[in-house]
Amino acid sequence: MNDTVAVARGVSWRVLHTFFTNPAFLLPSLAFPLFFFTAFAGGLSRVSQIPGFDFPTGYTAFQFVFVLLQSAAFAGVFTGFGIARDFESGFMRRLMLAAPNRSGILLGYSFSALVRWLTVASVVTAVALLARMKIGGGGVDLFALYTLALLLNLAGTLWATGVAMRLRTQQAAPVMQMPVFLLLFFAPVYVPLDLLQGWIHGVASVNPITPLLEAGRGFISGAPELALASFAIAAGLIAGFCFWAVRGLRSAEAAG
């Protein structure tokens, strides 16, 4: 068996085993997206009645896309927290020592982040469907929506991995989390971009998350827009953060 794949299998098995057998890890991962979904889609539903808000499938679907993308990005960030924890505890040294090919460590963490997010996404989707979310898009649209979220998950994981590999401490958590948090919330979270005014409109217009969010909302409503641009941005983020993560791994290797 290829060394990289073997290492990735081992690392992802351990992360997922710990995730699924420890409520302390599993429950917060599920609770936060559900909290956001309930708070935004439920508590702010009257926002959809403001003049100019014309999203066809309703406010629940409008917010569902944001929560889906947010959960994807944060599943990646939480994986970075786990990597930092492994550095602090010394377990990363065991992995570095046991792994003939250390790129497999990155691959293993990335794969486990993906599975973690798929679990969260399944629960959030089920809750959204129970809340009678309207879906205008077809199978291809929904596939595109989840693929886009998956790519964002990978980008988030690679970003946080790069930080964790460089700083190697759990105190780096804000460094991993804050930029992602800011990017997500400086996007048109509550209303479409056209309804934003002032500086927030300017920031949201140049925010790379905005096209992803708008494309995702286009997929769920069955009126795709910015599809190619959003996938190109996601691919670009992955390419950039992949380089960042691999350089981070080299930095960790050099530091011992």
Partner 1 sequence: MKSPLDNSIEAHGLVREFKKGPRAVDGIDLRVEAGEIYGFLGPNGAGKSTTVHILTTLLPPTAGTATVAGYDVVKEGPKVRKAIGAALQEAALDPFLTGREHLRLQTAMHGITGDERQRRSDELLTRVGLTEAADRKIKGYSGGMKRRLDLALALVHRPRILFLDEPTTGLDIQSRTALWAEVGRLAKEEGVTVFLTTQYLEEADVLADRVGIIDHGKLVAQGTPEQLKAEIACSTVEAVPAESAQRGALASVLEQFGEQTTGFGPGSVAVQLADSDGNLAEIVRALDGAGVVLSQLQIHEPTLDDVFLAKTGRHLEGSGDEQEQEQEHEPARA
As a whole number of angstroms, the distance between CA 193 and CA 181 comes to 18
Please give the span between the terminal C-alpha atoms of the chain, in angstroms, as a whole number: 27
Contact 234, 150 (CB under 8 A): no
Q: Does 222 bind partner 1 (CB under 8 A)?
A: no
- Report the candidate in 149, 179, 178 with the shortest Cα–Cα distance to residue 64: 149
Nearer to partner 1, 89 or 171 (CB): 89
Q: Does 93 bind partner 1 (CB under 8 A)?
A: yes
Interactions with partner 1, residue window 100-139 (CB under 8 A): 100-101, 104
Q: Does 246 bind partner 1 (CB under 8 A)?
A: no
Q: Does 253 bind partner 1 (CB under 8 A)?
A: yes
Contact 158, 245 (CB under 8 A): yes
Dihedral over Cα of 119, 120, 124, 125: its sign = negative
Q: Does 23 bind partner 1 (CB under 8 A)?
A: no
Nearer to partner 1, 93 or 247 (CB): 93
Q: How many CA atoms lie within 13 A of 1 on its CB side?
A: 9
Contact characters 43-82, partner 1, x per CB under 8 A: ----------------------------------------
Binding site for partner 1 (CB under 8 A): 1, 3, 6-7, 9-11, 13-14, 17-18, 21-22, 89-91, 93-101, 104, 253-254, 256
